[in-house]
Structure 1
Amino acid sequence: MGIEAVVFDIGNVLIAWQPERFYDRVIGAKRRKDMFAEIDLHGMNDEIDRGGDFHAVIAETAAAHPRWRDEVMMWHDRWIDLASPKIDRSVRLLRALRRNGVPVFSLTNFGIGTFEIARREYPFLEEFDESFVSARLGEIKPDPVIYQILEERSGLSGAQLLFTDDRPDNIAAAAARGWQVHRFERPSGWAAALVTAGLLTEEEAE
């Protein structure tokens, strides 16, 4: 059974998502390490990705840690600086697949508010045939249910789907359902995988 659709993660595949790098630049590496050791900021973000209110979740975390209040609120007030820049070659690969008539979906852990910010900043996020966003669905990767939702809505089985994600746990969950998978590390590797799958030529994948 051949590949019928390609599924993209967004963070660190199409858009860089490196909060530590942002804070290193803004407050310095040592203070950032201290803050991240004291506060589970990625856990806070997971709550948003599960559907928690973008502002309320961050404001509550900031209030609980007054020593870091201003820094925590940067996660809200300067969110787009955490989620940048776009990964240009990955965007080109998305568009090359579309030109070849290959259906493309996004499967992403994203909050409702943050996804709206990202859509305004990165118009290519509107180019998917369908976006499967965790906060909208009430399910989050790597929970198997979110993969099942995509299968049911697309009408495709695992073997018909080629999925890329930067996180090993998300890749493992997809592989367990029979999806074809590629662990994203850099755009060149993803381009080679799409060529090997017969979805793009080497020229189209540049």
Structure 2
Amino acid sequence: MKKYFVTGLLIWIPLVITFMVLAWIVGTLDQIVEWLPNGVHPRTILGFNLPGLGLVVSVLIVWLTGLVAANVIGQRLVAYWEALLARIPVVKSLYYGVKQVSDTLFSSNGQAFRKALLVQYPRQGSWTIAFLTGKPGGDAVRHLHGEYVSVYVPTTPNPTSGFFLMMPKADVIELDMSVDEALKYIISMGVVAPPARLSSQPAALHNE
């Protein structure tokens, strides 16, 4: 009975957690529909709530925003909007900080979170997985002697929190592993290991 019970848990736990996460995402996005006027609200037209409509509306809004911002008029509107936000002291710092991070992460030519690394942390001889986020900047560069890289060391099992480190490039090993595989490895606390690639050999982060 114990064997069958554990087998059943291994089947149901991933399904239930996946369903709960998806239900939370859909439920959160469905709150957007509540902003619609009563005259065009799906509950008024159909007589009942339509689950998942908020997700469709959110995707449509994001797609239309990108479509508008891709032309000249849209770019001028975005520039005007950013100039307006730049005049608000607290909003300016928050908005441009988030914008710089998002531009770096989602830029097609950026290197942030494009490579999984093997680094020694929190002490010599103890290894963990990190992600390349770029190179040190600002006044920190003046105090660093040699070539350094900026890395993000995520925590387990929640990779959204972690530590930002500036490490010598020679001490960083680039892994033959995708970012998705590395994240899965971290979230599972090392239980779900990526498949070994016999052709790959650990090496220091190469010059680009």
What is the TM-score with the length of structure 2 in the denominator?
Answer: 0.24
Say which structure is richer in helix: 1
Bigger relative contact order, structure 1 or 2 (CA pairs below 8 A, ≥6 apart): 1
Greater C-alpha Rg:
2
